[in-house]
Amino acid sequence: ESVNTLKYAASTHKIHQKLSARKSSAIASPSETSALRNENRKLREILDELLEHQNSPLDDGRAAVNHYAAMLKKEQEIKQFAKIEASDLRGQKAKLTSDFESLTSQFNESRDTITNLRKKNKEIKREKELSQQLIKTLKSDQDLVRRSELEKTKKNEQGNVRTETQLRQQVDE
């Protein structure tokens, strides 16, 4: 009986070592850590049960065999649970990888859009500055035209006054 108990304890200890090695060798996500804690808790429960049965005498050899079979069944359940968890974690990893790639793509598109908008903004500012310079140039040209028209008008008026005074002088003579 104690030989079987020790064999089982040794096999559960090996499982625990494998899980510990897997846990320490990988960067564990929160879900992996939780799964490993659950597996560890189940192994402790099995070990506690083994220790309880080791301390109580098992009268019947059949009871020892049944106990060992139950422990093997629990071990199989733990292995099955670990396989399911590993499969779930692979699925989660694939989904997270896909989400990350999608977000990276969106980020790159946004960055390109921002870069394009900045370029367009610079072009608009440059065009605005050119427009303002053109407006200033046009205003100064308009002022020059007005001044030259005023000067022509003044000269014409002065010329008309001269010709009028000349005509009066001629008439007076």
Ranges of beta strands (E only) in the chain are none
CA geometry: angle 131, 135, 140, nearest 5 deg? 150
Task: Extract the tokens encoding 172.
Answer: 């007076």
Residue 54 CA to residue 81 CA, distance in Å, equals 26
| pLDDT tens figures, 90-101 | 888 999 999 999
pLDDT-based confidence at residue 136 (cuts at 50, 70, 90)? very high
For the segment 6-27, the average pLDDT, to the nearest whole number, is 61
- Residues 43, 10: contact at Cβ < 8 Å? no
Q: What is the reported pLDDT for 116? A: 95
In one letter, which amino acid is 12? Answer: T
R_g of the chain, CA atoms, integer Å: 49
Map tokens 């003579």 to a residue: 173
Q: Which among 71, 63, 87, 59 has a CA at the least distance from the CA of 8?
A: 71
Best-predicted range by mean pLDDT among 10-14, 38-42, 147-151? 147-151
pLDDT-based confidence at residue 154 (cuts at 50, 70, 90)? confident
With a cut of 80, say whether residue 48 has pLDDT above it. no
- Model confidence pTM above 0.85: no
Q: What is the reported pLDDT for 157? A: 75
